[in-house]
Structures are given as C-alpha cells and as structure tokens.
Structure 1
Amino acid sequence: MNKFFKTVFASCLGAFLAFLALGALVFFFGIRAAMQGESGKKVSANSVLHLTLKNPIPELTNNSQVQGFELNTSPVLGLSDLLNAIDKAKDDNNIKGIVLEPKFMAIGQAQAKVIAEKLKDFSNDGKFVYANADFYTQGAYYLASGADKIYLNPKGSVDLRGYGAQIPFFKDGLDRLGVNAQVFYAGQFKSATEPFRRNEISDQNRLQIRELLDERYTQLLDMISQNRNIEKAQLKQLIDNYEIRWAEDAVTHGMVDSLVFKDQFESILRNKIGLEEDAKIKMVKLSDYYNPMTDKKSQSAKDKIAVVYAEGGIVDGDDRPGVIEGDKYAEVISDLRKDESIKAIVLRINSGGGSGFASEKILREVKVCQENGIPVVASFADVAASGGYYIATSTDSIFAEPNSITGSIGVFGVIPSVQKMMADKLGITFDTVTTSKYAVGFTPFRDLNADEGKIIQEYIDDFYEDFLAHVAEGRNMTRDQVHEIAQGRVWTGNKALENGLVDALGGLPDALDAAASLAGLKDYKVREFPKVKTPFEQLFEELTGGNAMAKEKILQSELGENFKHYEWLKSVAETKGPQARIPFLIE
C-alpha cells in the first residue's frame, strides 16, 4: 500500500512540477512579448541594422509556415514591414548603415528586386549599405549587387552559373511498382502531371521553361550589370563559361570589392562609423528594431483600404499560417464587404494555386464585393499562377512585378490506382457486390474503366472552361483569345502584360494607389488581413497542446528550406477534386 501511495504521490508531484514549469515559461514569454509590444528596440548612436534574410519572407508578418519549433516571440517580419523597417532606419539618426549578410537567402527574385530597390533608396539618402558573406548564391548576389560595397571571405566564392531546371520523372518507377497514376488534365502546357505520365519533358513544357529561364536570366544580367557597372555581354560570358570560380576571380572581374575575414570586415565597419578600433559594433537585428504593432505610421483617416494577403498553397480545410484556406479567406473577404469603413480591397497574391474548389469560393466573394460597389485590385508577388491567378480573374485591375510568375491557366487531377501492385506484389485482390454501376468506382484499389475515365476528363474540361470564362469576363477577351494564351502556360509579369493577363507592372504601393483612385479616396488607412497569431500565441498553443501542427513545426526545423518540397507534395496528395496548380516550385 505504501508503494502505491508513493507512486501516486510521485505522479502527482511530477504533473504539478510540469504544470509549474509550463506556467513559468508562459509567464516569462508573456512578459517578454508584452515588453516587445511596447515598441521596437531602442538603439543607441552609431548603430548598424543587420539583415540576414536567411529564412523565407512572408508577405504578411507572422504568416509563415517555416518558423520552427522554438521558444521565440520575435515577429517574423513580412515583406511590407521589412520595407517599413528600412524606411524607419533611413530616418533614424542612430542608424548609420545596413550590413547585408544574405548567406542561404531563401527569397524569390521578385521579392529580392523590391528589397534591392528599397536598399538603394536607403543608400541614396546618404547612408551606407555593405554586403558581406562567406559565399554568395546566385539569388543572394542578385540582391547584394546593389550594395555600396561587396565583401567576400578569401576562401569563399560567388556562385553565378545562370538558371536551369532539372525535373524528375516517376512513370517507369511507378510502372515497376504496379502503380497506375491515371492523370487527367486540360491544357497542353499544364505540365504538373508530366512526371507521372512521361519519361521526358514535353516540347510544350520545354518551350515555356526555356522562355521563363531566359527572361529571368536577362533580368539577372540587367540588375548585376547596372549595379556593378559591368558590360552585359562581358557578364554573360563570365557566367556562361563559369569563369568566377574562386574568390580572386570575383575581385578581378569586379564582382566584389575586397576579400576580407570577419575581423577585417569589422575593422572596415568601425572605420566607416567612426569608432575606435577596439569598440564594439552595435548590430541591431531587424526583428528587434521594428515592431509592426507600434512602429507603423499613425493613420488618422476614417476610410480604409484592406490588404488581404493570400500566400501559400490554396487548400480545403487546413487553417494555419502560410496557406490559403478557401472557407477562411472567403469569410475574411465577406466580412470586409460588410464593414462600411472598408472602401476598397487589394488582394496581394503569392501562390502557385492548389484546390479548384477553394479557389472558386474565394473568387465568388471577390465578385460579390465588386457587385456591392467595392473595388478590388490584385497585386502579384513572386508567384500568382493557376489557382493564384484564378482568384484574381475578376478584379478591377491587376499589377505584377516584371519577374512575377503568372498564368498557368489550366486544370489537372490525379487518381492513382494500386490494383496491380496489390495483386502482383502482395497477392491481394478485391471482389465487389454493388447496387449500381458506379457504386465502387473511382477508388485507388482498381483502375478506372473507360466510362469512369471519361467522366473525370469531362469534369476537368468543365472546370477548365469555367476558368477560361472567368478570365474572358475579367480581361474583356473572347473565350478563344484566352484559350490561345492559356492551356496551362506559364508567363512572366512582362509577358503577361503583353498578352493582356495583367494591366500594369508595379508593386503593392501601385496597387494601393489604384484602389484608392477607384474608390475616390485621397486619404485612407491601410489594414491588413487575415489576422495572424503572434509567435507567442503560436508557441502557447504548441506548449499547451492546442495546436496539432507541432509535429510539422519540428519537421520544418529539420528540413529547413526543403520543407516546401514536402509541403507541396503533401498538398497535391491531399487535395480532393480538380487542382489549379503551377507545375513547379520557383526558387
């Protein structure tokens, strides 16, 4: 009996201590979050703002899948707030300059272009921007090329090799396993299903990938050539022949200004700032410097423009940061329509698409807003393709960056069958008893028959025709005109402007100006949606078991940037019904 009571007492004590520890953690981080909520970090004179950009940058602050499972209450700044932080630093006399250390930069070319332009504006105001890294990836150098000075580790490199695409094909492997992918698609350029039905790239897909890569390469050459004052033809030759292999090559050809170790770079910084040689450099992290809750400029206007950030895959029934859940976003837009202070909406899109059902729900609410006299303008970030373009089709105006990826107007579906694998590999077969012809149809345990396949293809074709009709109505084209530039084909922002899929080239500020003009506003507030939980709130849910995403948070920490590939495959596999999704991930 004594042993029993000891066991019970020990269990109760353990539970009590666990709850006590949890309470202490919650109290500590609650106090920390409250302190951070007061204002951004106060900086002293001669400080330097430190930008690493090593993680993906969401469009909306804290709306990020890749935050990791960690005890951290600092905000994950979105692109808009990151740009606001640089503006704040430009006007802050205590900030003397910016140090950019891109390292494993995980942002797209469109985002990099916008940030580079903001850094150039910062530099033109009389402050310095220095870039320093052990090595530069191509994307990192694209951004860093606009810095006043570029420094490189003497043992490092600048990895400029141009753009390429390498696509895996699974058809033969699936055949050997006895898996029949059974793919259905509308649009000869809709190549998302090619890895499951072919063993090589189709001519149509090769054409669109070639044009996409060529244009991105041209934009890379233009940016670096202009920023580093290198002849474009010479730069192209250096990259094509892979002549910048060693750190010394980068200096010789004008890609970097000097080769330095960390201590040498710090000496350069001290000299630039005017510090004594042994003085500590006051480096301020971006997330510590800028607090979105308190640092946004006060706006006293009564009328509001809502910016709805739609980023990530478009999904059904999966409400979490970094994805576009159909019902949730439809509800957000519906609520904005009912808010009399909201005079216009800007739909900021960074998505390669996903569920056709969810896309249709969101588009429906956009149209209802317009029917009620609320103008809606679309602004494209790095990607607004397939379902990402679908939800923008009816908007009053569409803005894209020159290097945004858009189009991909097409639909596909995949119904894998494991009948052969089950029978040949495992010796498992199925027999049926039914009351009607299709009672056990469309299952993964047997191949579709001709009639079932025809039904699925008709369903895909019908959704494609709906897609064409939405585009034709929104872009003032005929069905055939849209079909000519659709068929799943991917376009850059520049090409989309030429073929009429977008109205103008520009960023979010341009879209806001257009929305204000359509609504007849001269003075307005900007409000951001959807509302996203802070890192502290997300942490509290994880610690108390209120968030089922803890497992994926750990996966994110382990996989890092590669988590997006896992997430893409998982989304494809879990999406029910037709999918309007771009056929590849954009680096």
Structure 2
Amino acid sequence: MRTLWRIMANLFKWAWRLINFIREFILNLFLLLLVLVGVGVWMHIKNANQPVEVQQGALNLDLAGVVVDKPAVTNTLSKLGSQLLGASSSRLKENPLFDIVEAIRQAKTDKHISGIVLNLRDFAGGDQPSLQYIGKALREFRDSGKPIYAYGDNFTQAQYYLASFANKIYLSPHGSIDLHGFATNSLYYKSLLDKLKVSSYVFRVGTYKSAVEPFLRDDMSPAAREADTRWIGQLWHNYVTQIAANRQITAEEVFPGAQQFIAALQKNGGDMAKYALDAGLVDELATPAEVDQKLINVFGWDKQTKDYHATSIYDYALKKQPTKGNIAVIFADGPIVDGAQTPGMVGGDTTAAEIRSARLDGHIKAIILRVNSPGGSVTASETIREELAAARAAGKPVVVSMGGMAASGGYWISTPANYIIASPSTLTGSIGIFGIINTVEKSLSTLGVYTDGVSTSPLADVSVTKALPQEVQQVMQISIENGYKNFIDLVAKSRRMTPEQVDTIAQGRVWTGSDAKANGLVDALGDFDTAVRKAAELAKINQPELQWYQDQPSFADLVFGQMNAQIRAVLPETLQSVLPAPMYDVMSMMKKQPGLFDKMNDPQNRYAMCLTCGEVR
C-alpha cells in the first residue's frame, strides 16, 4: 500500500512540475514577444522622422482594407502590423481618408510622381461620400495632365468606383466586374427572444424609428421598407451616375438591370470579362504580365524591385502640417457612448473635452466637427452638443462636415453648428428616440429559478430577473417622449423651423443628404473642402491651417495595441475555419449592425441611433 502511495505521489509531483514548466514556457514566450514588439516599436519611432526617398515614377495606390475618417488603430500601429508581425488579414486595415486625399493632391505637384497606378486587389471599400472624396482628388490629379492606370483580376463595386476615375482600366481576360446594386440586411430576433423567453420592453417615438424592430418583429415593417427603399435607391443612382460620367457611357450601360445583364451574358457564353469590355466598363483585357510591361514602358524599369518604378502610398511621406492651426478639426466617428473614448467609439466626455480645448485655444478661430456616426447615447450626444453650443457662443464659428452617416445622435450633436454641410450620399436625419430593457424572468422560471424581495417603491423594484413594473414602464415611455420633444425642439431652433414642421420630416426617418437639403436639415451639399472654405469664411481667415485633434498613443499603447491588432487580424480567420458557414455569416452580420452589440451605456437607457445606416452592400 505504501508503494502505491509513493508511486501516486511521484506521479503527482512530476505532473505538477510539468504544469509549472508549461506555464513558465508560455509566460517566457509572451515576454519574448513583448520585448521583440517593444524593440520594433522603439526602432520604428526612432526612424519615423527620417525622410523616405520617393522614386521617380508612379504613386502606387495599393490600398488594403477599408477607408474611414478616423482609424481605430493608428497609422503607426498599422505599419507596424505589416513590418513586425505581418498582419494576416490586410482587409481588416483601416486607412485614414484625409491622408489618402492629401497624398494624391501632394503627388499632383510632386515632380517625382508622373502618374498613379490603382492596385485595388485588397481594397475592401468605404462609405460612398469617402469614395467620392477620393475620386475628386483622383480627378484633380488626372486633370493636371498626369495619367491614372487601374488593373484588376476582378473588381468589386467599391474597387470599380475608384478605378472608373482612371484614364485606362485593364481587366484580366478571366476577370469580372461585380456590379449588382446595393442592399441592406438586418437580423430580427423576436422569435428567438420568444423561444428564449426573454421579455423585451421597448419604448420609442417615431413611425420610422426602425432601430428597435429587430426586438419586435421577424421582418421589416412597411414604413421602414418604404423609407429605406428611397434612400438606398438614391445611393445607387449617385453611384451609377458618377461611373457613367467617368466612363462617358450611359447609366443603362453601366448597369442595364438584372434581366438585361443575364441576357447579355447568355448571348456571349457567360464571359464576364468580354461583357465588361463590350459595355465600355474597361478599356482593355490584359494579363498581369502584359499590364506590367505596359506600366514599365510608361514608368521605367526598376532593377531593384524588378518591376516598374513606383512608390507605395504607405511609403509616400506627407509634408509636415503646422503644429498650430487656426481651424480645429474634431472627429465624431462611430457610435456615441458615455464616458471616455474607446477604439471605434465616440466618447461623449472625450469629444466634449476636445471641443472645450479648441474653444479655449487662442490660436483656434473656427471649429469643424466631422461627423460620421449612426448616433447612440442621448446623454453622451447632449454632452457633446452642449460643448459645441458653448464654442459657438464664445464667438468661434462651428461648421459640421457630414461623412457617410450623421443620423440620430449624429444629427443631434450637429444642431449647434453655424453651418451644416452634407454629401448628397450622406445618410442623416433619423430624428427619433428609443429605449430597450430586457428581462429574463421567464427564462429562469423554466429552470426553476425565481426572484422575490421587498422594496419601498415599485420604481426601486427593477431587476433583470424580474418583470419590469408597470410604473417603471410608464416612466420610461414618458422619458422617451420627453427626449423626442427635446430633439425636435433643438432641430426646430437650429433650423429656424416650427416643432410641427420638424415632426413631419422626423419620426425616425432616414434621409440622404440631397433630401436633407431639400427638407432644410442641412445648409449645403459638398465635401470636407467645402467645410474648410466655409469655416474660413465665417471666421474671416485668409490662410486656413487645419489642426487635427487626434489621440496620440503612448509607447505602451503602441506595444499592446499592435499585439491586439495582430490578434484581431488572426482570430476571425481562425474562427471561420472552425465555425459552420451559416454561423459565421450570422456573426458577421451581427458585427455589421453598428452599436447594437457594442457599449450601450446611456444612464437613462435612451438612444438616438440608426441601425439601418451602417452597412450597405
């Protein structure tokens, strides 16, 4: 018996030592990785100010990932991702819109740059106003006399939109251009919540406030369908019209309709590339080797890279901006939440602090608030709005530049502006309020779990494990109606309308920038350049200089942020390989409903948010 215990003790001792060894090994690997990343970051920062030699030749617009107003991961982290660890999914990369436009405009007058090559294979897209702004810069470059060439094996709709600004578009003989139109899709959970016996208490104001419909229905309501059909049709019209103008063909030739497209394919045997050539969508069908030779003939042979002379847009150094500008540019990019800012979110306290800093800065004469948000917390939106109103009251003109979205809370924070500018394709309006509280008392009861207790008032007896008291429901609905009234009054005051006039175009309805202009919700149609000119005009500035308010990461942020970026790049592909395809598609769609599964932390559970504005495919 003693021998048996000795054997068991030895086994336990060696097993314990093995566990300790594995633990120490993993920790040492993590420490080694941390040291390597830290050294890499330090070396990158040390060499960041060294000038990059620009090659005589093309600017290679080899965009990878998506275009956003303000990346959640900084440029430094993005570059480190490829240099240090090699990010496994470049399509997750976020590219700052204004850096891209500035690079194209700088290249227009750069004697070293003789043309642009659009290499868009890894470009995942962006909202329509962002693509239009890049397209404007490409048109300026082309009008300067320098050529633009585009090539692809296949073009998505976003890729082709930018490619259409080129002087010449090459397509692989076995390639295609995927023009199919726009669509929106949302998940609806009513039946799921019923099966899970989750009680959803929904409070809202607005006929078209469809943000809460996923909790109430299994499909889109007729009112939401009618409203969304209008704005998505306008976006598609803007898209097709611009491409038709670029290619000097008709809108019907760009996209003749599904049945006509199918008939044309049947006629030519299903050859997608030949269809694109016959329709005038591309100029020539050519293999990669043939295109390379054409570009070498134009830009010359680079012995070192064994390719045509070119400088990647990621290596193209922008001229340094002045440290002190006279126009502050502050971003509200993402869902609006209470508290400090986190990546991909608009923190009410953080944004208000930036506006206050600009208000108190003697060098700043005007403020541009760049809004690209579906909205969010009413409390956080009001925090930002109050600070913006204070800046205007202090005599500093405020101009709002709307990006892809400035809806619900995004419009709320825009109301104090002296002037509001939207793109024709901006999604704005969605003036409405809602609140949601879920409880699981029915779910727990099926497991034999119940909640009971005492309270001094029905208003105090609130728990996720109990049905919401009727009195609390009444308070919530009154609060939501008050929030809607405040929203209407803010809009009416800022737009010089009556509350009744605002209510007719509110009710949660989404409008494009063009409709918003017709309805008096914005002052002018334009882009960021229009906003800069207006801010300079209002502040009587002869030479506008922009001061961008953006977070500067610390050394620790760079190190841990890069590791987080790498994990984010690897994890989705890992999950995709182990999850069934339908489940992965559902997870992807859930992520694309902005703000719904992120931090919803309004202290009064009141939200001004448009969930249908975030994803157009």
TM-score normalised by the chain length of structure 2: 0.84
1:178-216 C-alpha deviation (Å, 9 max, x unpaired): 112221111111101111112322121111111011111
Do the aligned partners of residues 273 and 487 (structure 1) sit closer, same or farther apart at CA in structure 2, a change above 3 Å counting?
A: same
Conserved? CA contact 2:117–2:149, under 8 Å: yes
2:311 maps to a residue whose letter is: V
Letter in 2 for 1:296: K
Task: Give the CA deviation at 1:165.
Answer: 2.7
- Deviation per residue, 1:439-486 (Å, 9 max, x gap): 222x22222233222211111111111111111111111111111111
2:80 is aligned with 1:52 = no
Alignment of 1:191-206 (within 5 A): 191-206=210-225
Q: Which residue of 1 aligns with 2:338?
A: 316
Matched residue of 2:154: which SS? Answer: coil
Q: CA deviation at 1:495?
A: 0.5
Residue 494 of structure 1 deviates from its aligned partner by 0.5
Q: In the alignment, is residue 221 of structure 1 matched against residue 240 of structure 2?
A: yes
> Pick from 277, 291, 311: which aligns with 1:251?
277
Equivalent position to 2:456, from 413, 435, 450? 435
SS in 2 for 1:477: coil
2:217 and 2:416 map into 1 onto residues whose CA distance is 35
Segment of structure 1 superposing worse, 348-357 or 280-289: 280-289
* 1:82 counterpart (92, 100, 123): 100
Q: Separation in 2 of the partners of 1:9 and 1:159?
A: 54
- In structure 2, the partner of 1:235 is 254
**Structure 1 residue 539 corresponds to structure 2 residue 539:** no
| Mapping for residues 338-353 of structure 1, pairs under 5 Å | 338-353=360-375
Question: 2:425 matched to 1:403?
Answer: yes
- Alignment partner of 2:437 out of 415, 419, 422: 415
Say which SS state the counterpart of residue 331 (structure 2) adopts. Answer: strand
Distance, in Å, in 1 between the alignment partners of 2:496 and 2:39 is 57
Partner of 2:9: none
* Contact 1:135/1:152 (<8 A) preserved: yes
Q: Distance in 1 between matches of 2:78 and 2:435?
A: 31
Alignment of structure 1 residues 326-365 onto 2, 5 Å: 326-365=348-387
Kindly provide the CA deviation profile for residues 59-92 of structure 1, in whole angstroms up to 9, marking residues without a partner as x: 2466669959946589965211211101121122
Q: Which amino acid aligns with 1:579?
A: Y
Q: Taking structure 1 as reference, are residues 45 and 552 closer, same or farther at Cα in structure 2, changes over 3 Å only?
A: closer
Q: Structure 1 residue 32: deviation in Å?
A: 2.1
Q: Secondary structure at the match of 2:237?
A: helix
Tell me the distance in 2 between the aligned counterparts of 1:179 and 1:389.
32
CA displacement, residues 520-544 of structure 1 (integer Å, 9 cap, x when unaligned): 221242100133428x763323479
Aligned mates of 1:257, 1:36 — CA distance in 2: 40
Structure 2 counterpart of 1:529, from 527, 536, 549? 549
Task: Report deviation, 1:11.
Answer: 9.7
* One-letter amino acid matched to 1:586: E
One-letter identity of the residue aligned with 1:169: Y
- Provide closer, same or farther for how the CA distance between residues 263 and 517 of structure 1 changes in structure 2, counting only shifts above 3 A: same
- 8 A Cα contact 1:394 1:473, kept in partner: no
1:550 to 1:427, Cα distance in 2 relative to 1, 3 A = farther
Deviates more, 1:160-169 or 1:107-116: 160-169
- 1:466 correspondence with 2:486: yes
Mean Cα displacement is larger for which, 309-318 or 374-383? 309-318
- RMSD over aligned CA atoms reads 3.3
Label 1:24 to 1:84 Cα distance change in 2 as closer, same or farther (>3 A). same
Return the alpha-carbon distance in structure 2 between the equivalents of residues 296 and 138 of structure 1.
Answer: 34
Q: How does 1:487-566 map to 2 (within 5 A)?
A: 487-533=507-553, 538-542=557-561, 564-565=591-592
Q: Is the 8 A contact 1:472 1:482 kept in 2?
A: yes
Q: Rate the CA distance shift 1:263–1:379 in 2: closer, same or farther, 3 A.
A: same
Select between 396-405 and 150-159 the one with higher mean Cα deviation. Answer: 150-159
Following TM superposition, by how much is the alpha carbon of 1:432 offset from its aligned partner in structure 2, in angstroms? 1.7
Residue 284 (structure 1) aligned with residue 294 (structure 2): no
Q: 1:34 to 1:240 in 2, by over 3 A?
A: farther
- The verdict on how the C-alpha distance between 1:52 and 1:569 changes in structure 2, with shifts beyond 3 A counting, is farther
The Cα of 1:286 is off from its aligned counterpart by: 1.1
> 3-state SS of the aligned residue for 2:48?
helix
State the distance in 1 between where 2:537 and 2:452 align: 65
For residues 509-562 of structure 1, what are the alpha-carbon distances to aligned partners after superposition, in whole Å with 9 as ceiling and x for unaligned? Answer: 21111111111221242100133428x763323479xx8x98767657868987
Evaluate the alpha carbon distance shift between residue 379 and residue 556 of structure 1 in structure 2; reply closer, same or farther with a 3 A threshold: farther
Whether 2:397 is the aligned partner of 1:378: answer: no
Task: Say if 1:342 and 1:88 are closer, same or farther in 2 by CA, change over 3 A.
Answer: same
Shift of 1:18: 6.7
C-alpha distance in structure 1 between counterparts of 2:251 and 2:22, whole Å = 73
Equivalent residue, structure 2, for 1:183? 202
Corresponding residue for 2:582?
A: none
Q: Which residue of 1 aligns with 2:580?
A: none
In structure 2, the CA distance between the partners of 1:458 and 1:92, relative to structure 1 (3 Å rule), is: same
1:251/1:528 Cα in 2 relative to 1: closer, same or farther (>3 Å)?
same
Q: SS in structure 2 opposite 1:389? A: helix
Confirm or deny: 8 A CA contact 1:378 1:392 kept in the other structure.
yes
The corresponding residue for 1:483 is: 503
2:102 counterpart letter in structure 1:
N
Name the CA distance, whole Å, in 1 between partners of 2:208 and 2:479: 19
- What residue identity is the alignment partner of 1:54? A
Q: In structure 1, what is the Cα distance between the partners aligned to 2:477 and 2:179?
A: 44
Q: Take 1:551 and 1:318, find their aligned partners in 2: how far apart are those partners?
A: 24
Deviates more, 1:50-59 or 1:249-258: 50-59
Query: Structure 1 pair 456/121, CA: closer, same or farther in 2 (3 Å)?
Result: same
**3-state DSSP class of the match of 2:421?**
strand
Q: How big is the shift at 1:144?
A: 1.5
- Partner residue of 2:320 out of 272, 296, 299: 296
Contact 2:296 / 2:309 at 8 angstroms: preserved in 1?
Answer: no
The partner residue of 1:97 within 115, 128, 135 is: 115
Q: Of residues 294, 297, 305 in structure 2, which corresponds to 1:271?
A: 297
Q: Distance in 2 between matches of 1:532 and 1:450?
A: 48
Quote the offset at 1:249 in angstroms. 1.0
Deviates most, 329-338 or 27-36: 27-36
Q: 1:354: Cα distance to partner?
A: 1.0
Once residues 539 and 553 of structure 2 are traced to their aligned partners in structure 1, the CA distance between those partners, rounded to angstroms, is 30
CA distance in 2: counterparts of 1:283 and 1:575, whole angstroms: 50
- Letter paired with 2:44: R
Match of 1:129 in 2: 148
Structure 1 pair 259–396 and aligned structure 2 pair: CA distance change class (3 A) = same
Paired with 2:573 and 2:393, the residues of 1 have a C-alpha distance of 44
Question: Among residues 566, 579, 584, which one is paired with 2:607 in the alignment?
Answer: 579
Query: 1:285 and 1:276, CA in 2 relative to 1: closer, same or farther beyond 3 A?
Result: closer
Task: Tell me how far apart the structure 1 counterparts of residues 531 and 417 of structure 2 sit (CA, whole Å).
Answer: 11
Preserved CA contact (<8 Å) 1:163 1:213: yes
Unaligned runs of at least 5 residues, structure 1: none
1:290 aligned partner, one-letter code: A
1:131–1:28 Cα change, 3 Å: same
Task: Return the TM-score normalized by structure 1.
Answer: 0.89
Q: 1:348 to 1:173 in 2, by over 3 A?
A: same
Give the conservation status (yes or no) of the 8 Å contact 1:356–1:579: yes
CA distance in 2, matches of 1:124, 1:239: 34
The aligned counterpart of 1:30 is 42
Return the alpha-carbon distance in structure 1 between the equivalents of residues 222 and 316 of structure 2.
Answer: 50
